[in-house]
Amino acid sequence: MAERYSSFTPGGTSWLLQRITAAFLIVVLAFHFFLLHFVHHADEVSFLMSAGRMEHWTYYSLMVLFLLTATFHGVNGVYNALINQGLSGRKKTVVKYTLVTASVILIVQGIRTANAWAGIPLY
C-alpha cells in the first residue's frame, strides 16, 4: 500500500495556519457571495458602491485581512504542493523566494488599491 506523504508536519505551524486560513476564507467567501450576489446583484455593483463600502473601517479591515489570508493560504498551498512533488535543493530555494516576492507585490498592490477605494492618501 502506498504511503501518504505530506510536506506539512501534522500539528506544525504551517499545517495549523493552513487550516485556520481555510476556515476564515470559507466564512469570508460566504459573506462575499451573500453580500455581492444575493443582497446586491452583479449588475447593481458599481465602483462608487464598492468605494462606499471600503470607507467603513470594518469592511476595509475585513478585505485587507481577506487579502492577507488568501495570499498566505494560496502561496503556502502551492509551495507545499511543489515540495510534495519532489521539489528540492536550489530549485526549492528559487521557488520559495519567487513566491515570497510575488506575495509581497500582491499584498502591497492590494493594500494600495484598498486605500484608494477607501479614500486613504497614498503618501
The Cα–Cα gap between 96 and 89 comes to 11
Q: Please choose, from the candidates 59, 51, 97, the residue with its C-alpha nearest in 3D space to the C-alpha of residue 75.
A: 97
Q: Where is pLDDT greater, at 123 or 82?
A: 82
Read off the pLDDT of residues 62-116 as tens digits, 9 standing for 90 and up. Answer: 999 999 999 999 999 999 999 989 989 999 999 999 999 999 999 999 999 999 9
Read off the pLDDT of residues 29-43 as tens digits, 9 standing for 90 and up. Answer: 998 888 878 888 778
Residue 33 pLDDT: 86
Q: With contact defined as beta carbons under 8 Å apart, do 85 and 38 qualify?
A: no
**C-alpha cell, 80:** 507545499
The Cα–Cα gap between 117 and 123 comes to 15
Into which CATH architecture does domain 13-118 fall?
A: Up-down Bundle (1.20)
Residue 32 pLDDT: 86
Q: Does 23 have pLDDT greater than 90?
A: yes
Residue 14 pLDDT: 86
